[in-house]
Chains A and B, each alone.
Chain A
């Protein structure tokens, strides 16, 4: 084992060095690049997956499709999509955007579908009895009840996107992954460690802010997750809110 050239003081010195906080390769610029990339991809993925999931969930069709999308999506390594996109769209942030949207779609679609389908049949019946149209049922009754799972899906997707955007640096995109990839290339261990710490910090902050969003949007009675009672519920709970490591 090679014991490190990293030391606490070297890492602290890197952060104290003001040249690392200015310019194109400075932390603020890289941070903004990273957040912009992630935000754009997540917004596109939400715009695609949420309507599809809501519609499919409401009409109770396409269940196997929605669940298989998650399984297939998990199977495809994001690095593969990232690199295959390069001969098609070139290097830079475009292959990264495509790969991140493809990465964020499965958890969003699956969780939206499972959330919508999980609404009790009696509630839907009551809504129909009160005279709600399909659109009103979906938007005013089912959607709020599906919100916990949908937000869990958004949280998973956001977390995965933020973490995978570090890989985007491999295809010459910007973002905080730049420090890691460049550091590995020139064997600058301090840069690598500092880059990793920055990515970790950002991932945690995003996770916390979406947890806060969840707390804000989901009404209190729906907040506490139910303990699974049956085998099916157990499998569903293990399926829907899967957290995958950021690959």
Chain B
């Protein structure tokens, strides 16, 4: 699924710690393939996690709306998962699923689940009662009301959730570098282990750049898809 990583044999000697410059452009130029691979892997992990999380959220939200007592425990369970620090969660999964992408994905999906589920449920709850009443008056069944009335009105909240979830996941994928998964965090961590400032800085800058561009892109998409929602202040 992922392209095979380029070799990590560095042709140039790494400068001694305290005298190295912050950016060694030669190194960047020579390892462009590696950097591109890491960015691609990072984005892939993020998109996968958010997509799976979205799918599970839809199913769980539909279940919670169909059977109301489910809503509280569901949010409580997700909230409990939230309380687990990311490194701890990944570390807990490692003995079970090893140092693989599955471990990272399980953790990432868990975290996106709370954000998306909470936002979707809040949005669905915030639909005004008059609208529901009107829909009922027009003959909508519970299911059709959910899909045709409540869900479109909850879309702004869901998109805000997708935006936050994506930005957060991009940050979390950096942490997965500590359990051997890649992405931009592997540049960061590898640079840290070898005291190589260029790589560290590149990792940090790319992580921030990815998160910010994802945020800007998603705000744009949010405005496109929900033109009827109130303009955001930011």
Name A residues whose Cβ lies closer than 8 Å to a Cβ of B.
Answer: 1-6, 63-64, 67-68, 71-72, 74-81, 83-84, 86-87, 159, 162-164, 166-167, 170-171, 177, 180-181, 183-184, 189, 192-193, 195-196, 199-200, 203-204, 207, 227-228, 230-232, 234-235, 237-238, 242-247
Contact = CB atoms under 8 A, between A and B. Distances in A.
A163 B233 contact: no
B156 A231 contact: yes
A170 B178 contact: yes
B30 interface: no
Interface of B: 82-89, 91-92, 94-98, 102, 111, 114, 119, 122-123, 125-126, 156-157, 160-161, 164, 167-168, 170-172, 174-175, 177-179, 185, 188-189, 191-192, 195, 197, 200-201, 203-204, 207-208, 211-212, 215, 229-230, 232-234
A-B residue pairs, 7 tightest by C-beta:
A163-B85, A75-B211, A196-B88, A80-B204, A77-B171, A189-B95, A246-B85
Given A80-B208, A247-B171, A235 B95 contact: no
B130 to A, nearest CB: 12
**Consensus secondary structure, chain A interface:** helix
A231 B94 contact: no
Nearest to B191: A83
Q: Which of B119, B126, B179, B189 has the most CB of A within 10 A?
A: B126
A233 to B, nearest CB: 9
B137 to A, nearest CB: 22
Given A68-B234, A74-B164, A231-B156, A192 B174 contact: no
B232 A235 contact: yes
Contact of A183 (B83, B91, B191): B91
Given A2-B96, A234-B126, A242 B164 contact: yes
B125 to A, nearest CB: 8
Contacts of A177: 87
B188 A83 contact: yes
Contacts of B114: 243, 245
A49 B188 CA distance: 29
A245 B84 CA distance: 8
Given A74-B167, A74-B168, A207 B83 contact: yes
Nearest to B161: A238
Given A184-B178, A234-B122, A245-B82, A167 B204 contact: no
Contacts of A64: 233-234
Contacts of A166: 85, 87-88
Given A199-B85, A232-B230, A247-B175, 4 more contacts: A1-B102, A2-B97, A245-B86, A245-B114
A101 to B, nearest CB: 17
Contacts of B82: 243, 245
A235 B232 CA distance: 8
B145 to A, nearest CB: 19
Contacts of B230: 230-232, 235
B94 A189 contact: yes
A77 B178 contact: no
Given A74-B168, A199-B88, A235-B156, A63 B208 contact: no
A192 B208 contact: no
Contacts of B192: 83, 86, 170-171
Contacts of A245: 82, 86, 111, 114, 168, 172
Contact of A71 (B89, B156, B188, B215): B215
B155 to A, nearest CB: 11
Nearest to A162: B85
A75 B173 CA distance: 12
